C-alpha cells in the first residue's frame, strides 16, 4: 500500500522532532509539516528554551538568540535535508529557515526537485 500525503507529513514531523532532540537535547512542543507543490514546510512551535525566553525580552538578547539559532541551523541543515530526501525520495534543491522570537516558533522550508504534492493527487 502506498503512503498517503498525511502519513508522510506526520513521518517528516516525527523525524524532525527526533533529530532536534538528539542534537540539542530538546524538541519543539509541537511540529506540523506540510507538503505544498514542490515544498516541504515545517512549523515548529515552542522552540525557545527557558533561557532564550528570558533573553528575547532584551533587544541585544533577541539578536543573540537569532544569531545563535542561525548558526545552529547552518551546522545541522544537512541533517534536516537528508531526512527530507530520505523520506520523500526527492532531492532538496535549497532550504530556508527563520525563527520568530516573539512567537517562539521556527519555520523550515525545503524546495524539492519535483512537485511531490502532485504525486499524491495521482493516487
What pLDDT sits at residue 2?
Answer: 75
Whole-angstrom distance, CA of residue 38 vs CA of residue 117: 7
Burial of 12 (0-12, 13-18, 19+ CB in 10 A): buried
What pLDDT sits at residue 24?
Answer: 79
Low-confidence ranges of the chain (pLDDT < 50): none
If we measure between CA atoms, which residue out of 42, 38, 40 comes closest to residue 119? 38
Question: Looking at the domain assignment, is residue 122 inside a domain?
Answer: no
Question: Looking at the domain assignment, is residue 121 inside a domain?
Answer: no
Domain, as residue range, for 18: 5-115
Q: Which three cell numbers stand for residue 61?
A: 538578547
Measure Cα distances from 28 to 40, 45, 91, 114, 119 in Å.
18, 6, 25, 28, 29
What pLDDT sits at residue 122?
Answer: 62
Number of structural domains (the chain) is 1
Amino acid at each position: 500500500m502506498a503512503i498517503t500525503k498525511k502519513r508522510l507529513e506526520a513521518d517528516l514531523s516525527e523525524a524532525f522532532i527526533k533529530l532536534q532532540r538528539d542534537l540539542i537535547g530538546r524538541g519543539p512542543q509541537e511540529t506540523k509539516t506540510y507538503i505544498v507543490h514542490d515544498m516541504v514546510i515545517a512549523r515548529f512551535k515552542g522552540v525557545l528554551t527557558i533561557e532564550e525566553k528570558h533573553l528575547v525580552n532584551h533587544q541585544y538578547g533577541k539578536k543573540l538568540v537569532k544569531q545563535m539559532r542561525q548558526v545552529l541551523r547552518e551546522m545541522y541543515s544537512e541533517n534536516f535535508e537528508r531526512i527530507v530526501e530520505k523520506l520523500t525520495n526527492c532531492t532538496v534543491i535549497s532550504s530556508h529557515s527563520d525563527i520568530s522570537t516573539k512567537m517562539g516558533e521556527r519555520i523550515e522550508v525545503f524546495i524539492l526537485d519535483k512537485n511531490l504534492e502532485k504525486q499524491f493527487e495521482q493516487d
